[in-house]
Amino acid sequence: MVKGIKRFFLEVAYDGTAYHGWQIQPNAVSVQEKLDYALGTLLREEVATLGAGRTDTGVHAKQLYVHFDSDNASLINSPDRFIHSLNALLPFDIAVLRLLEVASGSHARFDATERSYEYHIHFTKDPFLINKSWLLRDRLNVQRLNEAARLLVGKKDFGCFSKSNTQVFTNICTIKEAQWVEIGEKLVFHITADRFLRNMVRAIVGTLLEVGAKGKPISYVEEVLASRDRSKAGTSVPAHGLYLTKIKYPYIDPLKNNIERY
């Protein structure tokens, strides 16, 4: 690698239990703060990452892409060694999985074409699922949950599931998948869209539970969507059951490892 400013993507995974979300904020510990510090230490310069999105306090990520620029890219003479050194500097609950050199105009947030989340629920007390899945006492009607979830698929205004006073240019999103899957004593909600509004997945799960647990009609979901009113939707479910699981880009091959050039 020659000297000069270069842009890189990092694929990151983390357990969000100990953090006040992804994004740096005053008087709170964030994942981004830890990652920026570790990168700055290795690259001997101030580094500011930018993520594909941001997760709230307690939310986990199995895959998050971030980008950063470096004047000292020549220090990354061995990508594998760089990843190893970076992970050694990071806490045990944050891991860097992949490093990619990308074109200078590549953008972790704006270039993402698809994002996927999971929400995990379990029904039998399990100490190993503390802060990893939401424990519910009563079983849910999975058939009704999936009938209601299908009403979410498509290009729609999802303002009813967004936190108020968020600075977004539109509430229109295109949901490509919304499905509940039973796995033993667990129930996992899978959802994929081109973009998500803040708090959207947790509000959607809470709304679907009004149908699958509290007996509201399946048409309730349609009524909530038509209202575009957050107060009509269900309560947001706890953050610790939520995982950001996948982000897609048109120029990243998910099957390749470590450093590539795009």
Give strand pairing partners of 75.
none
Query: What are the φ/ψ torsions at residue 177 (nearest 5 degrees)?
Result: -150, 140
Whether 207 and 72 have beta carbons less than 8 Å apart is answered as: no
* Average pLDDT taken over every residue of the chain: 92
| pLDDT tens, residue by residue, 26-57 | 899 999 999 999 999 999 999 999 999 989 99
Rg of the chain over Cα atoms, rounded to whole angstroms, equals: 20
Could you tell me the two tokens for 213? Answer: 């647990």
Is pLDDT above 80 for 3? no
Is pLDDT above 90 for 148? yes
CATH architecture of 6-110: 2-Layer Sandwich (3.30)
Cβ partners under 8 Å of residue 41, min gap 6? 89
Cβ partners under 8 Å of residue 31, min gap 6? 12, 14, 16, 19, 21, 22, 55, 61, 94
- 19 marked ligand binding residue: no
CA gap 86, 60 in Å, rounded: 20
User: How large is the angle between the packed helices 219-227 and 200-212, nearest 10 degrees?
Assistant: 140
User: What pLDDT score was predicted for residue 262?
Assistant: 42
CA gap 128, 133 in Å, rounded: 9
Of 107, 208, 103, the residue nearest 153 (C-alpha): 208
Decide: residue 70, CB within 10 A, 0-12 exposed, 13-18 middle, 19+ buried: buried
Catalytic residue set: 56
Between these two residues, 79 and 149, which has the higher pLDDT value? Answer: 149
Is pLDDT above 80 for 186? yes
CA gap 139, 69 in Å, rounded: 48
Cβ partners under 8 Å of residue 183, min gap 6? none
Cα 208 to chain center, whole Å? 20
Q: Could you tell me where in the chain the CATH 3.30.70.580 domains are found?
A: 6-110
88-92, 140-144, 160-164, 255-259 — which one is most confidently predicted on average?
Answer: 88-92
Does residue 73 sit in helix, strand or coil?
helix
Whether 173 and 193 have beta carbons less than 8 Å apart is answered as: yes
| pLDDT tens, residue by residue, 153-184 | 999 999 999 877 666 789 999 999 999 999 98
CATH number belonging to domain 114-245: 3.30.70.660
Rounded mean pLDDT, 9-28: 95
> Structure pTM?
0.93
